[in-house]
Amino acid sequence: LDSRDPVDGGRVIAKAWTDPDFKKRLLEDGTAAVGEMGLTMGDAELVVVENTDDVHNTIVCTLCSCYPRTLLGLPPDWYKSKSYRSRAVVEPRAVLKEFGTEVPDNVTVRVHDSNADMRYLVLPKQPEGTEDWPAEKLAEIVSRDALVGVVLPEA
């Protein structure tokens, strides 16, 4: 797992952006959908939550640092910090703002708490102007931080 990086997570999101049938399967059963791509979640279940015009999702693990390592590699230090783990739940908009992500007041912020049996992954909104991009190029703009919902992908 130490050799993994967010490239696989980016590939998953790019496929969801370019293949509506895959996106549907990913949102219904993330574990099975990433399995179609030859990726595994080990013993954990993968739940994928979608950012929309009305909802912004972010991920935390309040007890430790449960993280989809098979898709994203090692978690960053900030994700494991007690400050992030506690504040992301209590004041998510303030935490997101510290990452440069301002969520409008009319958008609901949902915080998902990973655990030993379940990992979450954010399906970010596809940036405008990238609709005709090939999956390989789309995957390059999907960062680890976008996959846990603290930043937005940018074209």
- Spell out the residues 6+ positions from residue 82 whose beta carbon is closer than 8 angstroms to its own: none
Task: Indicate the pairing of strand 118-123 with strand 45-50.
Answer: parallel
Number of helices followed by number of strands (H, E) in the chain:
9, 4
Catalytic-labelled residue, pool 66, 81, 86, 143? 66
Q: Is residue 143 annotated as a catalytic residue, yes or no?
A: no
Per-residue tokens: 14: 């790019």
Per-residue tokens: 45: 């279940």
Q: Is residue 86 annotated as a catalytic residue, yes or no?
A: no
- Spell out the residues 6+ positions from residue 62 whose beta carbon is closer than 8 angstroms to its own: 85, 86, 89, 113
Catalytic-labelled residue, pool 61, 81, 83, 114? 61
The amino acid occupying position 10 is G
C-alpha 36/C-alpha 152 separation (Å) is: 26
Catalytic-labelled residue, pool 65, 86, 114, 143? 65
Nearest one of 2, 10, 4, 15 to 141, comparing CA atoms: 10
Q: Is residue 65 annotated as a catalytic residue, yes or no?
A: yes
Q: In a 3-state reduction of DSSP, which class is residue 20?
A: helix
| Residues designated catalytic | 61, 64-66
